[in-house]
């Protein structure tokens, strides 16, 4: 385990479903991130939360809705997704001033939209 735990590891959902991805860290970090990793694109930053406040929304469609109830937990709520949203979704955390070690990543959730 890397210190950042993501659940579920795999998720298959229909386009009309609603599901949530969960990320949890107990590293004492104050910033958390969602990244999307698809086969043909570089890692894409989706959202940044710093001390529970959203500080970045990288033009992400509204069918992705993040939630950060505290500095240790981050959710990504999904609804009415499209097949092109199938990807590996990675959560990461860091110290607020970006520690010498950069981000600590979770193992990811492999999402398939059918």
Q: Which residues contact 41 (CB under 8 A, 6 or more apart)?
A: none
- Judged by CB under 8 A, the residue of 76, 81, 85, 106 near another protein is 106
105 part of the interface to another protein, by CB under 8 A: yes
Tell the smallest beta-carbon distance from residue 46 to another protein (Å).
11
60 part of the interface to another protein, by CB under 8 A: no
Alpha-carbon distance values, 12 to 8, 9, 16 (Å): 10, 10, 12
Binding mask 10-39 for another protein (x = CB under 8 A): ---------------------x-x------
16 CB burial (10 A radius; 0-12, 13-18, 19+): exposed
74 part of the interface to another protein, by CB under 8 A: no
Alpha-carbon distance values, 106 to 21, 34, 79, 86 (Å): 12, 10, 22, 18
Asked whether 82 and 113 are in contact (CB, 8 A), the reply is yes
Applying CB under 8 A, the residues found at the interface with another protein are: 2, 4, 31, 33, 42-43, 45, 48, 50, 55-56, 90, 92, 94, 96-98, 100-108, 110
């Amino acid at each position: 385990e890397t210190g950042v735990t993501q659940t579920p590891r795999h998720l298959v959902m229909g386009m009309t479903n609603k599901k949530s991805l969960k990320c949890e860290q107990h590293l004492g970090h104050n910033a958390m991130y969602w990244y999307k990793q698809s086969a043909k694109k570089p890692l894409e930053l989706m959202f940044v939360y710093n001390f529970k406040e959203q500080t970045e929304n990288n033009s992400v469609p509204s069918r992705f809705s993040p939630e950060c109830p505290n500095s240790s937990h981050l959710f990504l709520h999904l609804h009415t997704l499209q097949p092109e949203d199938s990807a590996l979704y990675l959560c990461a955390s860091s110290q607020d001033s970006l520690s010498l070690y950069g981000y600590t990543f979770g193992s990811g959730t492999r999402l398939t939209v059918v």
